[in-house]
Structure 1
Amino acid sequence: MDFSGLFVWPNVRFILEGFLLTLEVAIYSIVFSFALGIVFGILRYTRLPVISQVAAFIIDLIRNLPLLLIIFFIGMVLPSIGFSISLKWAAITGLSIFEGAMIAEIVRSGLNSVHKGQVEAARSSGLSYSSTLWHIILPQALRRMVPPIVSQFISLIKDTSLAVIISLPELTHNIQIVGGQNQSFVIPALLFAAFLYFAVNYSMSLIARRLEVRTH
């Protein structure tokens, strides 16, 4: 293992550039997947004729596909048939769709956890269904959903490494490039990548724990 040879500035800068791209992809994917998850989770919860069934089908379909396959399809297959998209946005799109389906199930479960008596009381007091959902059900459900949603975001950050399949120059990709320079760089490079992933994910897990304590 050659730590001194690996940690020269050009190598460190190259790795950190990949790490910054990983964070950028993760942040965009977190925002978009949360929005998709809220929308599809509510649509499935409301059980509107046809719409909820279509939402349920889409969620189940995506959840049962490998994320690697989704990213590869968006990043490689779509451009080959004329749908041009950058590698970064291919990764963001794939992650957002997949994680959005996962979050939709968390949202649906959170909404179902609110006692039906509160819904009936709100409806009997004259509130419309949409007002009851927005002002009574959703605020309570969101507090309960925070810990599992943050845990899903932690998985999302780790899943950004799958974008290596489309050669996105994120952290895992750049670690492979640096490690390929010299056999003695491989283990130190992997340890450095593990440290960076751990630092981000452990910080997220601490946030999840604090939020979980506040919601109880």
Structure 2
Amino acid sequence: MDVLAPFIEVYKLDNFKFLLEGFGVTLKVAAISIVLSFMIGGLIGTLRYARIPVVSPLLAVIVETIRNLPLLLIIFFAYFALPEIGIEMEITTAAIAALTVFESAMLSEIIRSGLNSIEKGQIEAARASGLNYIQTLRYIIMPQALRRMVPPIVSQFISLLKDTSLAVVIALPDLLHNGQIIYAQKGSYVIPVFVIVAFMYFIVNYALSLVARRLEIRQT
């Protein structure tokens, strides 16, 4: 019974509600970052695929730079460095901004690669049939590429959800942050808190992984 006592204490209503509040912040930050990064990453990936002089090479440099930086560094930069040049953001906004910048770079590469995976013969056939470049991209390339891109995009969204925990370094009141506050009350709470935090992350990420797996099967 002594072994179970910490679990019982942690799972009391107040503590559990506090963890759920943190989980709500985690999901909110992840959801907003997913939407924004998909929009921005989609635009960047498409522009890079189009190989527009000056624009595409410049975007390539930016994307490769961001992809090779630690996400933690970008979070620190958004919250601590930007205020030095007059751009101040509250904690949640800074976390969303940092995640969006990083994930946009990652997603843009997935989207660019997906567009490049379409056979050149289909593009040439579409152009020969009278479609212009935009029409070919919209009606021929994009629909096929999106089907191929869905599994890796969903996998990237799973990574994004897990990466929200890194924002604990700027005291984002997310699931991990609230869990730390609870187990700071008593050393014996550490394992029970980590168990429930891990379970919450697992449930959402496993559901997303099942979606990615099903979509991948449908492509084969």
5+ long unaligned stretches in structure 1: none
SS in 1 for 2:69: coil
CA-CA distance at 1:52 after TM superposition = 0.4
Q: Distance in 1 between matches of 2:70 and 2:27?
A: 22
Of 112, 117, 123 in structure 2, the residue corresponding to residue 119 of structure 1 is: 123
Task: Give the number of equivalent residue pairs.
Answer: 216
> Is 2:12 the counterpart of 1:5?
no
Of 187, 196, 206 in structure 2, the residue corresponding to residue 192 of structure 1 is: 196
Q: Distance in 2 between matches of 1:64 and 1:18?
A: 29
Q: Which residue of 1 aligns with 2:21?
A: 17
CA-CA distance at 1:208 after TM superposition = 0.7
Q: Which residue of 2 aligns with 1:65?
A: 69
Q: Which residue of 1 aligns with 2:45?
A: 41
CA-CA distance at 1:209 after TM superposition = 1.2
Q: Which residue of 2 aligns with 1:135?
A: 139
Q: Deviation per CA, 1:3-35, whole angstroms, max 9, x where unpaired?
A: 111112221111110000000001001101111
Q: Distance in 1 between matches of 2:68 and 2:123?
A: 32
CA-CA distance at 1:80 after TM superposition = 4.2
| TM-score of the pair, normalised by structure 1 | 0.97
CA-CA distance at 1:83 after TM superposition = 1.4
Where do 1:160-175 residues align within 5 Å? 160-175=164-179
1:95 aligned partner, one-letter code? L
Q: Which residue of 2 aligns with 1:94?
A: 98
Percent identical = 59
Alpha carbon RMSD of aligned pairs, Å?
Answer: 1.0
Q: Deviation per CA, 1:63-109, whole angstroms, max 9, x where unpaired?
A: 01110110111122223443121211111111111011111111111
1:22 aligned partner, one-letter code? T
1:175 aligned partner, one-letter code? G
The worse-fitting range, judged by mean Cα deviation, of 192-201 and 8-17 is: 8-17
The worse-fitting range, judged by mean Cα deviation, of 127-136 and 79-88 is: 79-88
5+ long unaligned stretches in structure 2: none
CA-CA distance at 1:187 after TM superposition = 0.7
Q: Distance in 2 between matches of 1:42 and 1:92?
A: 23
| TM-score of the pair, normalised by structure 2 | 0.96
